[in-house]
Amino acid sequence: MPDFQTILGCLLAVIIAIVASSMELMSKYQARTIGEIFFSPYYFFFVLLNAVFCTLVYWALPYISGILVRSEFLPSLENPLVRAITAGLGYLVIARTSLLDINIRGQTVGIGFDGIYSTLAQYLLRHHDLRLRRKMWEDFQKAFSSYPPHIFLGAVKLLMRQLSEYDREEFETTLARLKSGQPKSLDFCYGLYILLREYTEGREGAEAFLSQLNEVLKSDPSFEKTLREEFAAITS
């Protein structure tokens, strides 16, 4: 039966592992809200996967420590705090270890722990991504059925004026990519909506821009006409 200190150390290691793996997702989905990223069954299982591997490494650390740390640091591993930090930050070294690398259709697949960890992690992250995209599509459908298409272009232009110089450059580049090659009206609107979401706070943030512009256009018919013509000239 493990003592209290070992359990506490293991818990700390798991927390470190969860924070580290969550930071990876936060950097990938910078434009999404916390709720969108973390309230998902796929994220839960991803966390569980990392927690299981981290616990295994924490438990096995006294036996495999030679792989993870330099020999002069080995005695320090008896300290539960050092053991927890080493397992929490170093479990991926073991999880990513493969005995053999084979190439399947141009992709390297590791046979060993890497094969198990990578397959499960990729599956979960891919479905997490699909779930976020499906949510984005559903949000767009609601917006698309509420506003005429040129409102999306107007909202994006309105947002662009409020961005910092650094963000505006990237924003304009993406907008130029979306405009190229006479996109279909729906494709262009969806692209503009994704762009809007990249720089606003969730669905509500994008909705605020769309409704704000809708109000402006109601009181300015000439601006609405210009915007409508511009939208028609861009799309096929």
Partner 1 sequence: MEYSQKEVLKRVLLSLRQQGKQSIPELVFSTRLPYGVVQEAVKTLKKRGLIRIEKVNANPCVAEDASSLEIIELNE
Task: Answer yes or no whether residue 196 interacts with partner 1 by CB under 8 A.
Answer: no
| Strand boundaries in the chain, DSSP class E | 100-104, 107-111
> Using the rule CB under 8 A, which residue among 76, 126, 225, 232 binds partner 1?
126
* CB nearer partner 1, residue 157 or residue 179: 179
State the number of CA atoms in the 13 A half-sphere of 213 facing the CB. Answer: 25
Helices (H), 163-236: 165-179, 185-198, 202-218, 221-234
Beta carbon of residue 180, minimum distance to partner 1 (angstroms, whole number): 4
In angstroms, the CA 184 to CA 235 distance is: 6
Task: Answer yes or no whether residue 28 interacts with partner 1 by CB under 8 A.
Answer: no
Q: Which of 207, 206, 230, 210 is nearest to 218 (CA)?
A: 210
By CB under 8 A, the count of residues binding partner 1 is 26
Stretch 100-119 residues interacting with partner 1 (CB under 8 A)? none
Beta carbon of residue 8, minimum distance to partner 1 (angstroms, whole number): 38
Beta carbon of residue 190, minimum distance to partner 1 (angstroms, whole number): 5
**Residue 111 phi, psi dihedral angles, 5° rounding:** -95, 120
Binding site for partner 1 (CB under 8 A): 126-127, 129-130, 133, 137, 140-141, 144-145, 174, 176-183, 185-188, 190-191, 194
